[in-house]
Amino acid sequence: MQQIIFFFIRNKNFLLFGLLFLIALTLTVRTHSFHKSKFVSSSNLVSGTIYSIKNDITTYFGLKKENQKLVDENKRLRALLESYKANSVATNGDSILPSKYSFLTARVINNNYSKTKNNLTIDKGLKDSLQIDLGVITTKGVVGIINSVSSNYATVQSILNTKSQINAKLKNSEHFGTLVWNTKDPNVVQLIDVPRLAIVAVGDTIVTGGKSTIFPKGILIGSIKNIILKEGENYYDLDVQLFNDMTNLENVYIIENQDAQEILALEKEVEDAEQ
């Protein structure tokens, strides 16, 4: 017994080191899976408050650009509204049905783009009825998916994250692939596994595919920058230049799919029945 106690006392530094290192490793590994990453995140009260104070100050520097963006969007929406009004006589009836997507606005209070696994923090949380797995976009394109929520803040797994895999398709056909990031350039992502049958050209637009419950179909992502078809492969790898400037984000929209619960429940039912 005495021997054991002496052993502990003699090696207490090493044991402490081992224990803490193990805890740190566990935390690291936990973040590698999407749904477990809520334990240590910047959406908690202390860091959230500090980041929003900082954002309150720095946001003034980009005010002019941000206003310009919002004005541009207003212009675009106004044009859409007018064209809708013009056509509404012809298409009355089912087009007036309420949309199944609802939108919320939020501000980005912390943004990363230089690491391999980037996350953003936004200033809305549980109190604004946010939850995990909602999509986040800007006026120009996709930003990411919410992966952790506290009462006042939430973190967003950016598309600039090696863990992100978003369903995306070509705008002018239904061929779809998976959007991933190779960590090289914060404004270029990769669309992989696009079937060889698809007709692709540099400059074509890539939009979200709508195959998941997170993003609606047709949200802008970027344009094709480079086409890679390896010898003997049946799938294209495309470099996609993002419309968004991921290094300069301020106002974002959060998309909530009202039918998500229903769709997921239905899919789960089918999966369970097959097992």
Partner 1 sequence: MQNSEIFINALRFIVLVLLQVLILNHINFFGFVNPYVYILFILVFPLNGNQSLLILLSFLLGLTIDIFGDSGGVHAAACVFVAYLRPLILKFSFGISYEYNTVKISKVSLTERLVYVSLMVLLHHLVLFGLEIFSLSHILLILKSTLFSGIFSILLILCTLLLFSRKS
Q: Does 79 bind partner 1 (CB under 8 A)?
A: no
Decide: 176 and 194 in contact? Cβ < 8 Å.
yes
Pick one of 34, 73, 112, 128: the residue that binds partner 1 (CB under 8 A).
112
Task: Give 61-120 as a DSSP string.
Answer: GGHHHHHHHHHHHHHHHHHHHHHHHHHHTTTTTGGGSPPSEEEEEEEEEE---SSSEEEE
Here the tokens at position 226 are 């480079």
Decide: 123 and 52 in contact? Cβ < 8 Å.
yes
Cα 215–chain centre separation: 10
Q: Does 42 bind partner 1 (CB under 8 A)?
A: yes
Q: Does 151 bind partner 1 (CB under 8 A)?
A: no
CB nearer to partner 1: pick between 27 and 79: 27
Shortest spacing between CB 161 and partner 1, in angstroms: 10
Pick one of 75, 115, 171, 217: the residue that binds partner 1 (CB under 8 A).
115
Contact letters for partner 1, residues 54-73 (x by CB under 8 A) = x-------------------
Q: Which residues pair with 181 in a beta bridge?
A: none
Pick one of 106, 109, 119, 169: the residue that binds partner 1 (CB under 8 A).
119
Cα(242)–Cα(174) distance, integer angstroms: 20
Pick one of 6, 7, 11, 20: the residue that binds partner 1 (CB under 8 A).
20
Pick one of 35, 40, 83, 259: the residue that binds partner 1 (CB under 8 A).
40
Q: Which residues pair with 101 in a beta bridge?
A: 257
Q: Does 41 bind partner 1 (CB under 8 A)?
A: yes
Cα(148)–Cα(41) distance, integer angstroms: 7
Q: Does 13 bind partner 1 (CB under 8 A)?
A: yes
Q: Does 45 bind partner 1 (CB under 8 A)?
A: no
Cα(215)–Cα(221) distance, integer angstroms: 11
For partner 1, the binding residues (CB under 8 A) are: 12-14, 16-17, 20-21, 23-32, 37, 40-42, 44, 46-47, 50-51, 54, 110, 112-117, 119, 121, 155, 183, 185-186, 247
